Chain A
Amino acid sequence: GAGVSQSPSNKVTEKGKDVELRCDPISGHTALYWYRQSLGQGLEFLIYFQGNSAPDKSGLPSDRFSAERTGGSVSTLTIQRTQQEDSAVYLCASSRLAIYHGELFFGEGSRLTVL
């Protein structure tokens, strides 16, 4: 596709359930990021994939959060045993170059509401 695609756009779940959020980056982009945007706050880095290198998971807030990227393309962010504080918009972004020189292209986000 022309841009970064995320699904679902909205997800309402019950506390304790697992959720999966999907990101389909722009074709040819080797770098992929997940960010979390909570109401009234800036973007919080979660995880970074770059090509075949080991991902930088330093931003994941707990071991309930995990992410994978299959075949260097599509990525899935999984949240296990969701809590109300996980409610946020989860943004995915991709980049063709090292971000120092390039720009990130963002998807429209997946809005997660945990009841």
Chain B
Amino acid sequence: AQSVTQLDSHVSVSEGTPVLLRCNYSSSYSPSLFWYVQHPNKGLQLLLKYTSAATLVKGINGFEAEFKKSETSFHLTKPSAHMSDAAEYFCVVSDKSNDYKLSFGAGTTVTVRA
């Protein structure tokens, strides 16, 4: 079975400072991992994905994530937060043990202070 744990339900940062959103996963097989972002009253949008290629993955809007198999982690980072980064972020895992269905984390709400 697969599962995802997002370690922080809320993260608050000042504009221009780094953002770190933590995600740990559990998977019986080589997983695919994703980060999605959801702005208020909008659908989810893919930020980036890992599918067994390079372990450091770059996404849109300056975000990146590093797949660390030894730590079963897939943390999301951005060097400098922007006001527009205020949103909810979901870490997601998929693997063949569950017929490729996605398992979503509970989400991390990011607020950005001016």
- Residues of A in contact with B (beta carbons under 8 Å apart): 4, 33, 35, 41-43, 45, 48, 56, 91, 93, 98-101, 103-104, 106-109
Which B residues are CB-close (under 8 A) to A104?
36, 44, 46, 102
Q: How far is the CB of B90 from chain A (nearest CB, A)?
A: 7
Which A residues are CB-close (under 8 A) to B95?
100
A-B contact count (CB 8 A): 52
Q: Report yes or no: A41 in contact with B32, Cβ–Cβ below 8 A.
A: no
Which A residues are CB-close (under 8 A) to B90?
42-43
A103 to B51, CA, bound (A): 11
Which B residues are CB-close (under 8 A) to A100?
32, 51, 94-96, 100
Q: From A107, which residue of chain B is reached at the shortest CB distance?
A: B43
Which A residues are CB-close (under 8 A) to B49?
103
Nearest 8 Cβ contacts at the A-B interface: A106-B43, A43-B104, A42-B106, A106-B44, A103-B46, A42-B104, A100-B100, A108-B43
Interface residues in B, total, Cβ within 8 A:
23
**Which of A45, A56, A101, A103 is most buried by chain B, counting CB atoms within 10 A of its CB?**
A103
Which B residues are CB-close (under 8 A) to A56?
99, 101
Which A residues are CB-close (under 8 A) to B106?
41-42
Which A residues are CB-close (under 8 A) to B34?
103
Partner of A101, one of B32, B41, B46, B105: B32
Interface string of B36-48 (1 = CB under 8 A from A): 1000011111100
Partner of B94, one of A4, A41, A91, A99: A99
A104 to B38, CA, bound (A): 13
Q: From B45, which residue of chain A is reached at the shortest CB distance?
A: A106
Partner of A99, one of B42, B102, B107: B102
18 residue pairs bridging A and B, Cβ less than 8 Å apart: A33-B102, A35-B104, A42-B90, A42-B107, A43-B104, A45-B101, A45-B102, A48-B101, A91-B43, A99-B101, A99-B102, A100-B94, A100-B96, A101-B32, A103-B34, A106-B36, A106-B43, A108-B41
